[in-house]
Amino acid sequence: MKSILRALQYSRLIRRVYTKRYAKFGSQPAGIFWSNEQRQLSRFKIILDQIIFVQPTGSVSIADVGCGYGAMLHFIRANRAYNRLLYSGYDINPTLVKACKSDARLPSQHFHVGDRPISSIDFSVMSGTYNMAVTSNVDEWEDYFFGCLELCWRYSRKGMVFNLLCAEKSHISDGRLYYANVQRIRGYCKANFGITRVIREPRLPSDVTFMVTRSH
């Protein structure tokens, strides 16, 4: 019960923080706490390339959990390599979902308010979704984060891909950025979900992408 109440509290705080941020910066990387567009797009590419690699043929449905203002769908539509991906976007912030639906360049029916897919999809993807913490307590934030992963996993037929900022020791910075310990995250996912691969990109030394797939 305590974890459920904390999750509800964190969700309210996240909505409030991102609404304020988006009101200031609008539909650009800074509007959802990204440092710059190049890092944002590089992270998208790493995630989507992993899905294309493990699913080399046929259509693949993905749920972008923490979709923000729809940047990943813009990226997908601008790159023919990803035209097999069937996209849906989810965010717990109604303001951001409204922004997606109001963007004439994006199909409004693809976006929903929520912290998980509303129906089964092939892969859940989360890019930067859990980087901005709303607490300084790293144990409580990881409990919230793991709970979110569990919800997404239930709806993911084949797997999920997400990225995190990582450091030798899990901590939350003074700027409220969550840094995870790679082995702790990999161990949790392996024990609770499925086969877990760790992908590193030299150009993004603080970033780690986790690809979790079902064993069957």
Confidence class for position 75, pLDDT limits 50, 70, 90: very high
Q: What is the pLDDT of residue 15?
A: 96
Mean pLDDT across the chain? 96
- Is 2 a residue whose pLDDT tops 80? no
Mind listing the pLDDT tens digit for each residue in 15-45?
Answer: 999 999 999 999 999 999 998 899 999 999 9
What pLDDT, on the 0 to 100 scale, is given for residue 198? 98
Domain count, the chain: 1
pTM of structure:
0.96
Indicate whether 216 pLDDT > 70: no
Query: Which pLDDT does position 215 carry in this prediction?
Result: 80
Q: What is the CATH number of the domain that holds 176?
A: 3.40.50.150
pLDDT at 1 over 70: no
pLDDT at position 3, please?
Answer: 80
Give the pLDDT confidence of 93-146 residue by residue, as tens digits. 999 999 999 999 999 999 999 999 999 999 999 999 999 999 999 999 999 999
Query: What is the domain extent for residue 178?
Result: 2-213
Q: Which pLDDT tens digit goes with each residue over 174-208?
A: 999 999 999 999 999 999 999 999 999 998 999 99
DSSP-assigned letters across all residues of the chain:
-HHHHHHHHHHHHHHHHHHHHHHHH-SSGGGGT-S-HHHHHHHHHHHHHHHHHHS-SS-EEEEEET-TTTHHHHHHHT-GGGTTEEEEEEES-HHHHHHHHH-TTS-GGGEEESSS-SS-EEEEEESSTTSB-S-S-HHHHHHHHHHHHHHHHHTEEEEEEEEEEE-SS-EE-TT-BEEE-HHHHHHHHHHHTSEEEEEE-TTSTTEEEEEEE---
